[in-house]
Amino acid sequence: MMNALIPFYSTKRSGTGLGLALAREIIEAHDGRILLANRDGGGLVVSLILPV
């Protein structure tokens, strides 16, 4: 598991670390998935998969 999905983990000085963790809880509660992938050159791609 990537650290970005761990509650209260943040690389930002003023970050709470709740954004993606909370998003994951909501998405999984709706039978969806959240996928994270590192981008070449830095950054992160976040993909959300939700059922129709």
Give the model confidence (pLDDT) of 1-48 as tens digits.
Answer: 467 777 667 767 887 767 788 888 999 999 999 998 988 998 889 999
What is the dihedral sign for C-alpha 20, 22, 27, 28?
Answer: positive
Q: What whole-number distance in Å separates Cα of residue 43 and Cα of residue 52?
A: 29
Asked whether the whole model's pTM tops 0.75, one would answer no
- Give Cα 11 to chain centroid, integer Å: 13
Greater confidence (21 vs 50) lies with 50
